[in-house]
């Protein structure tokens, strides 16, 4: 049967067909839908979980693979940095059953803090890597990676990317593998599974030998394909840009690499010897090009294509024309659109983070920030989250500010899921090392930005099983913070008063938990608010809460000649933050007023 | 028809991705090779969202289209239609929902939202045909502002020679069973606005 699947859905399908029994990961765009699909479609066959972070997911998958079952880990590009610590011991130990790590890169930086080329991890960690170019290959390569993982006794990485993960193409479905291994007695093979240097040192030889075998395998595997056409131009490529190149250079010959580490040296030399010009088409770093040049082959590549951002077909064609590789196509019509208002993402109407950023902007305190929806607080109208680096870094940075002698008391903003992921160690560190400042844990009871996945603060797992909530307030107290306050995130005054109190605290870090459910999971939606135009004096205070539902009315307030405010009843979710900041009490909740009448 | 390139655009939260999924699914069912690419940006609401869908009788490679290559644009929002206009062929068709969702840069008075007339005029001057649809009004008539996307799908379906049943089948596949009934009504209403049914 042929179906349309996204790359992420196809990877989930590959896990199913390939006999995976355990799949772990941490949510992160563009990889999140893989585990969501596993949990939705293959619940009966595969155990799936959102682990607390990528390193924990990697270790959990390792433990499962040591116990004899096939396992998969999913991560976004930067999660590789978190899990690499654990990934890197696995080529040393090997495993009892197949283990595959799926990483989704984010070339073009649509939703990530950096643009790393994760192919280097294959070399650095000595882990073989496959790279699919569409959904069919996503599915097939996960199946194949699991088989090869068992054959070569090493984990395999499958590298996807945003344009594969969030694109759909046709996939021929297969059956789930037969004879899927089951958990067996745990191997007490210390020399294999304990990476004490005594044992691990010997494994360097094993890894070296494995790569010699893998290099031989790469020469003949069907993962690498040659398409012979016109031999004036021979293109070596992999991943989604291979697909772009097939359209842009429709007549060229291609060596399409499905296995990007290790590379098939002989195959590449043979291909290069049969074409006039070798062109390497790859996004980001000259990963293939550097290695292919080292084989003594003259190539073109990064002299034409940039080493950052995407190389979409249109740009590829333009650069190829400039380089004289193809003839100029027809002229494109460019319509002058004039200046268009920008559309940045904003806090949703009813978002529990709005009040906190309204207060932070008002108090003008320095804010070290973290990764999540609340980073939208760095944008207008708040401009109040001043840093953002990596998961959990807000709390570590806050500590650094406090020990620097900086005259200002600073605040860190971190979400519930991010706190569990990487915010706990730096808070413990602050307690131990006398750090000062306010850690605001913005607990919206979900992992909102990546699509509302569960986290340890919630009462249900990815598999839909009821579970115990980890209480953040008690956790912070147990970590040794002496000042811990939980406030209603929708109560602007309570947020402000408590934050001021926390800012005065000098005996170690103060922790303020702003509790309020994300509007997407809220079980208690409220009726919309309305502006009483007779009372509105067009002071625009409500506009400053940056809510998409609060807009300007046509009516003008004669004294200041400004437009009065109004509220879009379709967008408003009834949180009441605008009403709380209104100076004249002009904003009221529709249903309540009607009830009064 | 050997190939059709679609572009679905709008504002995060409007249901553009489901609409693009439906368009892709109908293409496959109608016997085309299909590829689709979504640019979602952040998975939170309020940003610009865009999906490319390609139908082709031949096997396809790239999942996206470039400048001047789109035959049909389905825009969920006025300003977003204008923003994506350079994707359009001169011979193309734009279906645009007349809903305005002012960005915060506009509500806070930093930037101006062009008038509806200005936008529609610009669209009309650049492509063969422009259809304006008040899908929000229709959705509210049906009692659910969320079915704007299905009203628009219904309108789009009236322009494309694919069996209406294929569209309904695809809607069934992507809409939660709880809301299927109102979505099928919205689809019908959309087709009616397009002069079918």
Whether residue A232 is predicted with pLDDT greater than 70 in this model: the reply is yes
Distance of alpha carbon B7 from its chain centroid, rounded?
7
Q: What is the CATH number of the domain that holds A246?
A: 3.40.50.920
Evaluate whether residue B108 is within a structural domain: no
Q: How far apart are CA A81 and CA A95, in angstroms?
A: 22
pLDDT of residue B98: 97
Q: Please report residues of B whose CB lies closer than 8 A to that of A340.
A: 79, 82-83, 114
Give the end-to-end CA distance of chain A in Å, rounded to a whole number.
61
Closest approach of chain B CAs to the CA of A436, in angstroms? Answer: 32
Question: Is-contact A29 A110, C-beta < 8 A?
Answer: yes
Q: Please report residues of A whose CB lies closer than 8 A to that of B6.
A: none
Local confidence band at B45 (pLDDT 50, 70, 90 cut-offs): low
Whether residue A3 is predicted with pLDDT greater than 80 in this model: the reply is yes
Same domain for A473 and A536? no
Same domain for A84 and A216? yes
| Cβ distance of B86 and A337 shorter than 8 Å | yes
Q: Which of B33, B86, B109 sits opposite A334 (nearest CB)?
A: B86
Q: Please report residues of A whose CB lies closer than 8 A to that of B114.
A: 338, 340
Q: Which of A314, A376, A450 sits opposite B67 (nearest CB)?
A: A314
Same domain for A99 and A153? yes
Q: Which of B34, B45, B101 sits opposite A4 (nearest CB)?
A: B34
Q: How far apart are CA A371 and CA A389, in angstroms?
A: 8
pLDDT of residue A571: 86
Assign B153 to helix, strand or coil. Answer: helix
The model's pLDDT over A300-329, given as tens digits with 9 standing for 90+, comes to 999 999 999 999 999 999 999 999 999 987
Q: Which of B84, B86, B105, B107 to mutate to test the interface with A (most CBs of A within 10 A)?
A: B107
Question: Is-contact B180 B168, C-beta < 8 A?
Answer: no
Q: How far apart are CA A184 and CA A96, in angstroms?
A: 9
Whether residue A285 is predicted with pLDDT greater than 60 in this model: the reply is yes
Report CA torsion sign: A168, A174, A176, A178.
negative
Closest approach of chain A CAs to the CA of B154, in angstroms? Answer: 21
pLDDT of residue A178: 94
Whether residue A594 is predicted with pLDDT greater than 90 in this model: the reply is no
Q: How far apart are CA A102 and CA A141, in angstroms?
A: 10
| Cβ distance of A167 and B63 shorter than 8 Å | yes
Question: Is-contact B166 B183, C-beta < 8 A?
Answer: no
Q: Which domain holds residue A107?
A: 2-220
Percent of chain A with pLDDT over 70: 99
Q: Which of B42, B126, B145 sits opposite A449 (nearest CB)?
A: B42
Q: Which of A340, A345, A546 sits opposite B83 (nearest CB)?
A: A340
Q: What is the CATH number of the domain that holds A486?
A: 3.40.50.970
| Cβ distance of B105 and A246 shorter than 8 Å | no
**Nearest residue of chain A to residue B78 (CA atoms):** A340
pLDDT of residue A73: 98
Question: Is-contact B147 B175, C-beta < 8 A?
Answer: no
DSSP code for A332: P
Q: Which of A343, A350, A542 to mutate to test the interface with B (most CBs of B within 10 A)?
A: A343
Q: How far apart are CA A509 and CA A503, in angstroms?
A: 9
Closest approach of chain A CAs to the CA of B9, in angstroms? Answer: 13
Evaluate whether residue A135 is within a structural domain: yes
**Nearest residue of chain A to residue B110 (CA atoms):** A341
Q: Which of B13, B44, B148 to mutate to test the interface with A (most CBs of A within 10 A)?
A: B44
pLDDT of residue B109: 80
Q: Which of B62, B108, B145 sits opposite A244 (nearest CB)?
A: B62
Same domain for A292 and A234? yes
Closest approach of chain A CAs to the CA of B93, in angstroms? Answer: 16
Q: What is the CATH number of the domain that holds B35?
A: 3.40.920.10
Evaluate whether residue A567 is within a structural domain: yes
Evaluate whether residue B107 is within a structural domain: no
3-state percent breakdown (helix, strand, coil) of chain B, nearest 5: 45, 25, 35
Q: Please report residues of B whose CB lies closer than 8 A to that of A388.
A: none
Same domain for A232 and A369? no
Closest approach of chain B CAs to the CA of A268, in angstroms? Answer: 23
Rounded mean pLDDT of B79-99?
A: 97
User: Nearest to residue A368, comparing CAs of A312, A436, A276?
Assistant: A436
The total of other beta-carbon atoms located within 10 Å of residue A560's CB is 11
| Cβ distance of A341 and B61 shorter than 8 Å | no
- Helix, strand counts (H, E) of chain A: 22, 23
Evaluate whether residue B110 is within a structural domain: no
Q: Which of A342, A348, A448 sits opposite B105 (nearest CB)?
A: A342
| Cβ distance of A449 and B24 shorter than 8 Å | no
Q: Which domain holds residue B46?
A: 3-99+115-193
pLDDT of residue A541: 94
| Cβ distance of B44 and A168 shorter than 8 Å | no
Question: Is-contact A226 A253, C-beta < 8 A?
Answer: yes
**Nearest residue of chain B to residue A316 (CA atoms):** B66
Whether residue B46 is predicted with pLDDT greater than 90 in this model: the reply is no
Dihedral Cα B167, B169, B170, B171, nearest 10 deg = 90
Local confidence band at A500 (pLDDT 50, 70, 90 cut-offs): very high
Q: What is the CATH number of the domain that holds A583?
A: 3.30.70
Rounded mean pLDDT of A412-419?
A: 98
Mean pLDDT, chain A, rounded, equals: 96
Cβ pairs A/B, distance under 8 A: 163
Rounded mean pLDDT of A97-126?
A: 97
Q: Which of B15, B104, B140 to mutate to test the interface with A (most CBs of A within 10 A)?
A: B104
Whether residue A275 is predicted with pLDDT greater than 80 in this model: the reply is yes
Backbone region of residue A508 per phi and psi (left: phi > 0; alpha: psi in -120 to 50; beta: other values)? left
Please report the ipTM that was assigned to this predicted complex: 0.96
The model's pLDDT over A329-380, given as tens digits with 9 standing for 90+, comes to 788 999 999 999 988 888 999 999 999 999 999 999 999 999 999 999 999 8
Same domain for A229 and A306? yes
| Cβ distance of B63 and A570 shorter than 8 Å | no
Mean pLDDT, chain B, rounded, equals: 94
Retrieve residue A572's tokens: 């408003």
Question: Is-contact A567 A578, C-beta < 8 A?
Answer: yes
Q: Which of A345, A378, A554, A567 to mutate to test the interface with B (most CBs of B within 10 A)?
A: A345
Q: How far apart are CA A531 and CA A579, in angstroms?
A: 9
**Nearest residue of chain A to residue B42 (CA atoms):** A111
Q: Which of B42, B64, B107 sits opposite A312 (nearest CB)?
A: B64
**End-of-domain residue from the set A201, A220, A239:** A220
| Cβ distance of A340 and B42 shorter than 8 Å | no
Whether residue B1 is predicted with pLDDT greater than 90 in this model: the reply is no
Q: Please report residues of B whose CB lies closer than 8 A to that of A543.
A: 107-109
A7 vs A449, which has greater pLDDT?
Answer: A7
Q: How far apart are CA A509 and CA B188, in angstroms?
A: 59
**End-of-domain residue from the set A470, A488, A515:** A515
The model's pLDDT over B47-86, given as tens digits with 9 standing for 90+, comes to 889 999 999 999 999 999 999 999 999 999 999 999 999 9
A531-544 burial, b for 16+ CB within 10 Å, e for fewer? beeeebbbbbebbb
Dihedral Cα A533, A536, A542, A547, nearest 10 deg = 10
**End-of-domain residue from the set A485, A515, A545:** A515
Same domain for A379 and A459? yes
Whether residue B134 is predicted with pLDDT greater than 70 in this model: the reply is yes
Domain count, chain B: 1
| Cβ distance of B85 and A335 shorter than 8 Å | yes
Rounded mean pLDDT of A237-243?
A: 98
Q: How far apart are CA B175 and CA B185, in angstroms?
A: 13
Rounded mean pLDDT of A452-478?
A: 97
Q: How far apart are CA A167 and CA A186, in angstroms?
A: 40
Question: Is-contact A235 A245, C-beta < 8 A?
Answer: yes
Domain count, chain A: 4
**Nearest residue of chain A to residue B22 (CA atoms):** A4
Same domain for A208 and A238? no
| Cβ distance of A543 and B109 shorter than 8 Å | yes
pLDDT of residue B44: 58
Local confidence band at A595 (pLDDT 50, 70, 90 cut-offs): very low
pLDDT of residue B105: 86
Q: Which residue has the tokens 């020399």?
A: A191
Angle between helices B164-174 and B180-193 (to 10 degrees): 150
Same domain for A22 and A150? yes
Same domain for A432 and A536? no
Evaluate whether residue A153 is within a structural domain: yes
**Nearest residue of chain B to residue A28 (CA atoms):** B43
Q: How far apart are CA A102 and CA A25, in angstroms?
A: 9
Same domain for A189 and A74? yes
Q: What is the arrangement of strands in the sheet containing A367-369, beginning at the earlier edge strand?
A: A387-388, A367-369, A411-415, A438-443, A510-515, A483-488
Whether residue A596 is predicted with pLDDT greater than 50 in this model: the reply is no
Same domain for A455 and A547? no
Local confidence band at B131 (pLDDT 50, 70, 90 cut-offs): very high
**Nearest residue of chain A to residue B89 (CA atoms):** A333
Evaluate whether residue B104 is within a structural domain: no
| Cβ distance of A169 and B36 shorter than 8 Å | yes
Question: Is-contact A443 A414, C-beta < 8 A?
Answer: no
A475-513 burial, b for 16+ CB within 10 Å, e for fewer? bbeebebebbbbbebbbbebbbebbeebbebeebbbbbb
Whether residue A135 is predicted with pLDDT greater than 80 in this model: the reply is yes
Retrieve residue A468's tokens: 């115990």
Q: Which of A340, A379, A380 to mutate to test the interface with B (most CBs of B within 10 A)?
A: A340
CA distances from A585 to A532, A534, A554, B170, B196 (A): 9, 11, 20, 48, 49
The model's pLDDT over A72-91, given as tens digits with 9 standing for 90+, comes to 999 999 999 999 999 999 99
Evaluate whether residue B74 is within a structural domain: yes
Q: Which of A163, A168, A346 sits opposite B104 (nearest CB)?
A: A346
Retrieve residue A227's tokens: 């398409």
Closest approach of chain A CAs to the CA of B163, in angstroms? Answer: 19
Q: Please report residues of B whose CB lies closer than 8 A to that of A453.
A: none
């Amino acid at each position: 049967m042929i179906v349309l699947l996204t790359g992420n859905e196809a990877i989930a399908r590959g896990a199913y067909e390939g006999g995976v029994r355990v799949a772990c990961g941490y949510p992160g765009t563009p990889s999140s839908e893989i585990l969501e699909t596993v949990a939705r479609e293959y619940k009966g066959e595969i155990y799936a979980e959102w682990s607390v972070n990528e390193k924990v997911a990697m270790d959990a998958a390792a433990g499962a693979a040591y116990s004899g079952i096939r396992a998969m880990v999913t991560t976004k590009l930067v999660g590789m940095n978190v899990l690499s610590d654990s990934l890197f011991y696995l080529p040393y130990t090997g495993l009892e059953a197949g283990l595959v790590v799926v990483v989704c890169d984010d070339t073009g930086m649509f939703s990530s803090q950096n643009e790393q080329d994760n192919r280097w991890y294959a070399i650095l960690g000595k882990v073989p890597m496959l790279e699919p170019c569409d959904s069919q290959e996503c599915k097939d390569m996960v199946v194949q990676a699991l088989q090869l993982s068992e054959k070569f006794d090493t984990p395999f990485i499958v590298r996807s990317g945003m344009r594969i993960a969030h694109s759909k193409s046709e996939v021929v479905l297969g059956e789930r593998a037969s004879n899927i291994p089951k958990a067996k007695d745990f191997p007490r093979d210390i020399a294999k599974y304990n990476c004490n240097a005594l044992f691990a040192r010997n494994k360097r030889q094993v890894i070296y030998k494995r790569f010699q075998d893998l290099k031989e395998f790469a020469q003949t595997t069907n993962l690498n394909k040659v398409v012979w056409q016109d031999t004036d131009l021979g293109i070596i490529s992999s991943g989604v840009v291979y697909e772009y190149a097939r359209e842009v250079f429709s007549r060229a010959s291609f060596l399409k690499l499905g296995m990007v580490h290790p590379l098939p040296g002989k195959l590449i030399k043979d291909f290069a010897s049969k074409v006039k010009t070798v062109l390497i088409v790859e996004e980001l770093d000259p990963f293939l090009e550097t290695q292919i040049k080292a084989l003594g082959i003259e190539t073109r590549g990064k002299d034409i294509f940039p080493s950052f951002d995407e190389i979409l077909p249109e740009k590829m064609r333009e650069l190829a024309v400039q380089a004289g590789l193809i003839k100029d196509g027809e002229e494109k019509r460019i319509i002058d659109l004039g200046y268009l208002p920008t559309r940045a993402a904003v806090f949703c109407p009813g978002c529990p983070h709005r009040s906190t950023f309204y207060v932070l902007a008002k108090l003008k305190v320095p804010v070290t920030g973290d990764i999540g929806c609340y980073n939208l607080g760095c944008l207008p109208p708040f401009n109040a989250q001043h840093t953002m680096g990596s998961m959990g870094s807000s709390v570590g940075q806050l500590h650094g500010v406090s020990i620097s002698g900086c005259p200002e008391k600073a605040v860190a903003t971190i979400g519930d899921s991010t706190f569990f992921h990487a915010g706990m160690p730096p808070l413990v560190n602050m307690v131990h090392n006398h750090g000062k400042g306010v850690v605001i844990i913005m607990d919206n009871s979900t992992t909102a930005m990546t699509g509302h996945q569960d986290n340890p603060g919630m009462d249900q797992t990815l598999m839909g099983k009821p579970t115990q909530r980890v209480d953040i307030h008690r956790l912070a107290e147990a970590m040794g913070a002496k000042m811990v306050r939980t406030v209603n995130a929708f109560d602007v005054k309570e947020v402000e008063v408590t934050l001021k109190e926390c800012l005065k605290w000098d005996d170690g870090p103060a922790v303020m938990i702003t509790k309020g459910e994300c509007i997407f999971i809220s079980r208690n939606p409220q009726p919309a608010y309305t502006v009483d135009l007779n009372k509105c004096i067009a002071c625009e205070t409500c506009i400053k809460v940056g809510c998409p539902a609060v807009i300007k009315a046509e009516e003008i307030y004669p004294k200041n000649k400004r437009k009065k405010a109004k509220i879009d009843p379709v967008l408003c979710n009834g949180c009441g933050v605008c009403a709380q900041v209104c100076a004249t009490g002009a904003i009221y909740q529709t249903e309540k007023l009607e009830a009064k009448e | 028809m050997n190939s059709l390139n679609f572009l679905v655009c709008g504002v995060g939260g409007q249901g553009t991705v489901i609409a693009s999924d439906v368009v892709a699914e109908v293409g496959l069912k109608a016997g085309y090779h299909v590829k689709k690419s979504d640019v979602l940006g952040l998975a939170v609401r309020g940003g610009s969202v865009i999906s490319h869908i390609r139908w082709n009788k031949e096997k396809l490679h790239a999942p996206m289209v470039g400048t001047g290559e789109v035959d049909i644009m389905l825009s969920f929002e006025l300003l977003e239609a204008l923003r994506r206009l350079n994707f359009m062929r001169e011979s193309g068709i734009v279906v645009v929902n007349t809903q305005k969702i002012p960005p915060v840069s506009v509500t806070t008075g930093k930037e101006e939202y062009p008038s509806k007339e200005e936008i529609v005029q610009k669209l009309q001057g650049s492509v063969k045909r422009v259809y304006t649809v008040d899908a929000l009004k229709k959705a509210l008539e049906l009692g659910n502002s969320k079915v704007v996307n299905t009203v628009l799908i219904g309108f789009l379906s009236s322009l494309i020679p694919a069996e209406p049943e294929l569209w309904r089948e695809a809607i069934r596949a992507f809409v939660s069973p709880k809301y299927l009934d109102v979505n099928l009504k919205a689809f019908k209403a959309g087709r009616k606005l397009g002069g079918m049914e």
